[in-house]
């Protein structure tokens, strides 16, 4: 009877996890954790992360890493070990971790060095569960892609009736004895364009159709590989084939300007829906979703500027005090359509203050955490306070 109760309890627990919507149950708590980080309150942030992780079956790699960073910053390596094991099971490599500054802290380095072997043992035992058929498809496109860049062939007959073959590799290395005629160049570009178009059309359709049919490949199915703890092998392919490539003979290849130009608008909407569904199911992080969605454009960036004033003789006292340490921000125009704006707000949960605080933290403080933000930092030197005033009038001062 005791065993029966245990089995039933596990079944009920799994059912609860299966029904959870990450957007409602997980990310609001992650928001609180990230807000605590922006206030340098790492203990509170860790507590919030633990609350979020306990609510779901499979917390996400980016958030686990940030929780580890919180533990490191309060000098609790022992408390970080269970989370490090979660990262190992996500397939995060030692080299990816050691790129991060938080692993270079003096009070952490020796402890990590002693623990690293155990971490590598767990990480190396993890095997990707993705289907061989999907890996085979991606490898096929990879081979064709690399071959196309290196060895695009064009067969032609010149004005004298002579047959020839042009090879992209030879063109780039200037190995041909004679310059191409206009006829040869045109023919080569035409054939390369046809081959390129066919390859990228097939790749784009295969990738998008897979997502529409199956949802996005989860962290548990295909391990996270990027140093930002978001992307896996499949996400890299999305990036790789997002823009079709052209191979002109007179210069290196270049990318098409329109993303996924081979995909219909109807399928793009289906793709976006599946990406949002994958976020709800906890397959991928919302930060990755914002990079994948067709409808979203990152043109709502925050720009932070530090102004250095060369001559402060005629400056007001207010400006003199702020010289060399003035930060401000401004927004560029938002060009999102209404549907895209709703999507972004849904993924960020309408907390515009958090979005701003994360951007500010990333620019002014962050050395340790992995948090997406469309923020940029620039520094400018102006000759006088009059010019500085003109800039400042268009901005909001946030830090002296």
Query: SS3 sequence, the chain?
Result: CHHHHHHHHHHHHHHHHHHCCHHHHCHHHHHHHHHHHHCCCHHHHHHHHHHHHHHCCCCCHHHHHHHHHHHHHCCCHHHHHHHHHHHHHCCCCHHHHHCCHHHHCHHHHHHHHHHHHHHHHHHHHCCCCCCHHHHHHHHHHHHHHHHHHHHCEEEEECCCCCEEEEEHHHHHCCCCCCCCCHHHHHHHHHHHHHHHHHHHHHHHHHHHHHHHHHCCCCCCCCCECCCCCCCEHHHHHHHHCCCCEECCCCCCCEECCCCCCCCCHHHHHHHHHHHHHHHHCCCCCHHHHHHHCCCCCCCCCEEEEEEEEEECCCCCHHHHHHCCCEEEEEECCCCCCHHHHHHHHHHHCCCHHHHHHHHHHHHHCCCCCCCCCCEEEEEEEEEEHHHHHHHHCCCEEEEC
User: What is the pLDDT, as a whole number, of residue 27?
Assistant: 92
In a domain, 243, yes or no: yes
Residue 4's pLDDT band (boundaries 50, 70, 90)? Answer: very low
Domains of the chain: total: 3
Residue 176's pLDDT band (boundaries 50, 70, 90)? Answer: very low
143 and 116, same structural domain? no
189 and 148, same structural domain? yes
141 and 268, same structural domain? yes
Residue 14's pLDDT band (boundaries 50, 70, 90)? Answer: very low
In a domain, 166, yes or no: yes
Residue 100's pLDDT band (boundaries 50, 70, 90)? Answer: very high
State pTM to two decimals.
Answer: 0.79
User: What is the pLDDT, as a whole number, of residue 175?
Assistant: 42
Domain stops at, among 94, 125, 156 = 125
Is the model's pLDDT at 226 over the cut of 70? yes
272 and 184, same structural domain? yes
Q: Which domain holds residue 99?
A: 2-125
User: What is the pLDDT, as a whole number, of residue 134?
Assistant: 80
Q: Higher-confidence residue: 107 or 192? A: 107
Domain stops at, among 76, 91, 125 = 125
User: What is the pLDDT, as a whole number, of residue 125?
Assistant: 76
Ramachandran quadrant class, 190 (left: phi over 0; alpha: psi -120 to 50; beta: rest): alpha
Residues 214-235: what's their mean pLDDT? 87
Residues 6-11: what's their mean pLDDT? 37
User: What is the pLDDT, as a whole number, of residue 358?
Assistant: 86
In a domain, 297, yes or no: no
Residues 73-94: what's their mean pLDDT? 94
Residue 162's pLDDT band (boundaries 50, 70, 90)? Answer: low
Residue 392's pLDDT band (boundaries 50, 70, 90)? Answer: confident
User: What is the pLDDT, as a whole number, of residue 61?
Assistant: 96
User: What is the pLDDT, as a whole number, of residue 69?
Assistant: 98
User: What is the pLDDT, as a whole number, of residue 299?
Assistant: 47
224 and 161, same structural domain? yes
In a domain, 21, yes or no: yes
User: What is the pLDDT, as a whole number, of residue 372?
Assistant: 77
371 and 330, same structural domain? yes
Task: Give ∠ CA 15-18-23 in degrees, rounded to 5.
Answer: 140
User: What is the pLDDT, as a whole number, of residue 8?
Assistant: 37
What is the C-alpha to C-alpha distance for residues 265 and 371, in angstroms, rounded to an integer?
31
Q: Which of 69-73, 141-145, 146-150, 361-365 has the largest mean confidence?
A: 69-73
Residues 282-299: what's their mean pLDDT? 79
190 and 324, same structural domain? no
137 and 111, same structural domain? no
337 and 227, same structural domain? no
In a domain, 342, yes or no: yes
Residue 17's pLDDT band (boundaries 50, 70, 90)? Answer: very low
360 and 268, same structural domain? no
Q: Higher-confidence residue: 375 or 242? A: 242
In a domain, 216, yes or no: yes
In a domain, 40, yes or no: yes
359 and 307, same structural domain? yes
Domain stops at, among 249, 274, 292 = 292
Is the model's pLDDT at 80 over the cut of 70? yes
317 and 261, same structural domain? no
Residue 49's pLDDT band (boundaries 50, 70, 90)? Answer: very high
């Amino acid at each position: 009877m005791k065993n029966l109760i245990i089995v039933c309890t596990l079944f009920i627990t799994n059912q609860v996890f299966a029904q959870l919507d990450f957007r409602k149950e997980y990310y609001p708590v992650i928001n609180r954790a990230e807000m605590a980080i922006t206030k340098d309150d790492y203990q509170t942030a860790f507590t919030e992360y633990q609350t979020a992780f306990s609510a779901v079956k499979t917390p996400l790699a980016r958030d686990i890493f940030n929780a580890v960073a919180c533990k490191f910053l309060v000098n609790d390596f022992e408390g970080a070990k269970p989370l490090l094991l979660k990262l190992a099971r996500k397939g995060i490599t030692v080299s990816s971790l050691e790129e991060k500054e938080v692993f270079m802290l003096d009070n952490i380095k020796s402890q990590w060095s002693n623990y690293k072997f155990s971490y590598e043992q767990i990480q190396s035992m993890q095997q990707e569960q993705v289907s061989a058929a999907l890996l085979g498809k991606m490898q096929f496109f990879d081979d064709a892609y690399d071959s196309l860049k290196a060895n695009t062939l064009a067969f032609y007959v010149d004005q004298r009736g002579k047959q020839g073959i042009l090879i992209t590799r030879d063109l780039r290395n200037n190995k041909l004895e004679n310059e191409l005629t206009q006829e040869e160049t045109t023919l080569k570009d035409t054939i390369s364009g046809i081959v390129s178009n066919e390859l990228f059309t097939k790749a784009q359709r295969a990738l998008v159709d897979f997502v529409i049919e199956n949802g996005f490949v989860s962290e548990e199915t295909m391990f996270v590989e990027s140093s930002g703890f978001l992307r896996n092998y499949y996400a890299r392919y999305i990036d790789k084939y997002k823009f079709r490539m052209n191979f002109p003979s007179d210069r290196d290849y270049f990318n098409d300007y329109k993303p996924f130009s081979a995909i219909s608008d109807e399928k793009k909407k289906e793709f976006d829906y599946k990406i949002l569904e994958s976020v709800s199911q906890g397959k991928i992080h919302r930060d990755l979703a914002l990079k994948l969605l067709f409808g979203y454009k990152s043109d709502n960036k925050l720009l932070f500027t530090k102004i250095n004033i060369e001559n402060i003789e005629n400056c007001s006292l207010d400006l003199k005090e702020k010289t060399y340490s003035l930060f401000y921000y401004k927004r560029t125009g938002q060009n999102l359509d209404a549907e895209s704006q709703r999507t972004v707000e849904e993924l960020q949960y309408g907390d515009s203050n958090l979005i701003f605080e994360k951007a500010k933290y990333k620019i002014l403080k962050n050395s340790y955490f992995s948090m997406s933000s469309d923020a940029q930092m620039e520094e400018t030197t102006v000759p006088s306070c009059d010019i500085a005033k003109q800039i400042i009038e268009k901005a909001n001062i946030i830090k002296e």
